[in-house]
Chains A and B, each alone.
Chain A
C-alpha cells in the first residue's frame, strides 16, 4: 500500500465492503467468468474494464443476485454471502443499474422507481408519497422535469436511464453498481451523473462503475479492475495514473491505436439524400440537410435536441408533418419504412433492445432481418447463405462469439450492438442512418467499426451519424450539423469545428442561439 498515486489514496482509506475470489460462472457453452477477483472499498469508485464479452455484466449480475456463481467466494461486509435473488441483494444493500434497462414500460415513472418496495401502510400503496419521493430523487439527478406520473414507455432512452438511476438511489444502498450508465447519456448528463456519484462516495457508499470510455474512468474512478476473457487480468490499478496503453493491452492483449480512419482526399459524389424543411411539432422543425455519396455527415446535439427523432423521420419510422425527404431525386412517402428500405436507406436505431433486436433468435437471423428475402429463391429462404454472409460481417466487427446460430440474447451488450450495426453492412444499403452506433462497443471494436464505416463511405455509401460523443462526431464525419432544441444551428466541415465549439453551440442559451442562427444562415 506504499507509494500509492493520489487517485487511489482516498479509496484505500475505506474498509473493504466487498471481496470476490475465484468466482466462476458458466453458461451453456460459455465460461463467462473463469476465476474473477474483485475488491471494493467503502467510498470508492471501482471501475471494471474489459472488452465486449469479457464478463463485466455477468460479474455484476452475480453481485446483484441475478446469477448464482458456479463456484467461488463472495464476501459482503465481511461475511460470506450467497444471494438467493435480486431482492435479497437489494435488502443487503446492493443496488444495481443494469446495462439493458429493466423498466416496466406500462408503469409510471414513480411506480418503476419504487417497484418492489413501494412506500405503504397496512398493505396500501401510498401513491402520493411515491410520486413525491420520486420527484425528489429525479430532482437530485438534475431531472426534475420528468413527471413521476408519466408512463416510462413514453420516455426517450436517456430518460429511462435516469429513471433506473433513481430506482437505484431509492434503495438506501451501501454499494451501487452501474453497468455502462453513461452509454445513453449526453455530455452534460454525464457531468450530472458524476456529481451524483461524488455525493454518494462522500457518504461512504461504494460504486462499481463500468464504462468503455477511458476518459470517464480517469475522471471519476479510483481503482480499476480489468477483465479479459472472464479472468481478472489486473486488479486495483490506480484509475488516474495507469497509462492508457497499459489498460488497453490488459483488456485486449494487444495495443490499439485509438484513432479515427483518415478522411479521403476525394470529393464526395452525387447527392443521395436531400431533406428540406422537415419538421414534427414538438420535436424539430425546418431541418434542411444533404448527404452525398461517400460522405459521412454527423449530427451533434444534446439528448432531446431532436436528433434521433430527425433520423427516424428521415427513415419514415415517424411520420413527417412538414417538409420532404428526397432520395436519388425521388421523394420518399412519409412514414413508410418499407419504401425507405427499398430506396436504399438503412437505420441502426438508438435503442437496440426494443427497436432492433429479436433477442430470442439467432445472430444470423437478426443480421439478415432486413434482407433475408434477397437470399431467398422463390420465397424459400437460404439459411446457409445467410449464415455465411452473417459470418463475414461478424468477422469484420470482431463479434464474439463467432457462432452466428446463437441467440442474440446470450450476447454481451456491446456484441448485441455490433449485430444492430452489422445488419446494414450486408450490402444493398446506399444511405446509412446511424444512431449512436458505438454505444457500449469497446475501444478495440470501436476502431474497427469506424474503419468499417469509412470503408463503406469509400464505396459510395452516404452516412448520417448521430452520436452523443462529440469527439466521435468530429473525428468520423466529413461534415457536421449541430442541433439544438429541434433546429440545426450550425453546419460546417468537421475540420473547422473544435470540441469546444460544438459543446458551446449545443448548450448555448437562447440569446446566443439567435445570433448563431444568423451566422449560420
Chain B
C-alpha cells in the first residue's frame, strides 16, 4: 500500500482511546429509548393516569373511597360504562391502523339498535334481535368499505356520508320514537354479573381479547398493519388491499352491532339519537392509546386503556359533582397531551433535554 504524505490511515482501534471498543456498536439499549417498547411505555403511562384519577377521587371523597365494597363496585360501574364504547373502539382501532377512519360508528349503533328493536324484529326473540343488529352493522360497514376501496372516496367523506344517512334511516325506521325492548333476555344482559363482574364488561374484555389476537397473531392483523403502514408497498407485495379494506370497515360495523345490543340492554330501549358522538370518543380513545392517526401503528390494549381512562374521568366528575362542561374540557386537554406525546418521541425529548443542558451530554470515560 502506497500512502502519500498527507494521508492519514487509521491505526488500530486502540488509537481512539476515549471511545469504547467496537463492541459498543450494537450494544445494549435502554428500554425507555427503544422504539419497540413505545406501546408498553404508553400503557404504563395510562395506568399511571388511572392511578392518579383514583388518587384524586380518594382525595375529594375520602368517605366513599374508604369503603372497599364501594370502590370495587365503582370500578365495575366504570367498566360497564366503558363497555359499549370500548367494543366500538376495538373496531375503530383496526380501521385506523389500516389507514382509514370510521365516523359512522355512532350512527351505525343507532341504526342497528333501532332496527333490532322494531316490533317485527322483536317477534323473532333475542336471537333475531342480536342477529339483526349484527347483520345491519356488518352490512353498513361493507357499504363504507366499498365506498372507500372501490368508490375511491376518502374514508372521512365516505363515513361522514354514512353517518348522516344512517341516522336518517334510523329516524325513519323508528318514526323518531323511542322503541322499548320487551325482550327479557336482551334486557337482562346489562344486569347480569358473572363472579361479580358485569356481563357487559366481560363482553368488552372478550371482544378486546379477540381483537388483540386478530391484530397481533393472525395474517389478517398483519395485512391491516401493512396496508396502514404503506398501502402501495402492500399492494406491490401482492396483498389484496381493496378487499381487506372492505373487511376492516365490516369489522367496525360488526362491533357497532354488538355495541347496539349492549346499549339497548342498558336502556331497555333504542332510539335514532342513541350513541351520539361515539365516533369522537372512540377515535379519541384509540389515539390516546397510541394508535397513529395516519395508520400503520396501534395497539388494542392501548385503546382499551384509553376508553377506561375516559370512563374513569366521567365517573370522577360524577362523584365530585362537577359539571360536564369541565369534564369535556379535561377530556380535550388529555387528547392534546396524548397526541403531543406521540409527536415528541422519547428520543427528541432526550435530545431536547440535552440541548438545554438538562442532562449530561454523554458520559465520557
Contacts and interface: CB of A to CB of B under 8 A. Distances in A.
Interface of A: 1-5, 8, 22, 24, 26, 28-31, 34-35, 37, 68, 70-71, 84, 229-238, 243, 246, 250, 315, 317, 337-338, 340-342, 347, 349, 354-362, 365, 369-370, 372-373, 376, 379-381, 401, 403, 405, 407, 410, 423
Interface string B21-64: 01011111110011110000000000000000000000000000
Given A357-B230, A361-B229, A401-B26, A372 B7 contact: no
B173 to A, nearest CB: 36
Given A29-B29, A338-B240, 12 more contacts: A29-B27, A34-B19, A68-B354, A71-B362, A337-B235, A337-B236, A356-B236, A358-B225, A358-B233, A361-B296, A407-B35, A410-B35
Contacts of B35: 28, 407, 410
Nearest to A68: B351
Q: Which of A22, A28, A229, A238 has the most CB of B within 10 A?
A: A28
B219 interface: yes
Contacts of B27: 29, 31
B361 interface: yes
Q: Which of B18, B220, B235, B237 has the most CB of A within 10 A?
A: B237
Contact of B237 (A30, A37, A370, A376): A370
10 pairs of A and B residues whose beta carbons are closest in the complex: A341-B238, A358-B229, A29-B29, A369-B237, A370-B237, A31-B25, A28-B33, A70-B362, A373-B219, A28-B29
A347 B236 contact: yes
Nearest to B31: A28
A68 B18 CA distance: 19
B331 interface: no
Contact of B222 (A338, A341, A359, A372): A372
Given A68-B355, A341-B238, A370-B237, A234 B364 contact: no
Interface residues on B, range: 35 or more
A235 B221 CA distance: 49
Contact of A231 (B1, B16, B234, B297): B16
B25 A358 contact: no
A68 B13 CA distance: 24
Contact of B218 (A4, A229, A338, A379): A379
B199 to A, nearest CB: 28
Given A233-B9, A237-B7, A407-B35, A357 B217 contact: no
Nearest to A317: B236
A379 B296 CA distance: 20
A381 B33 CA distance: 28
Interface string B190-232: 0000000000000000000000000001111110011001101
Given A355-B233, A358-B229, A376-B219, A338 B25 contact: no
A354 B236 CA distance: 11
Interface in B303-356: 347, 351, 354-355
Given A28-B35, A338-B240, A349-B236, A235 B26 contact: no
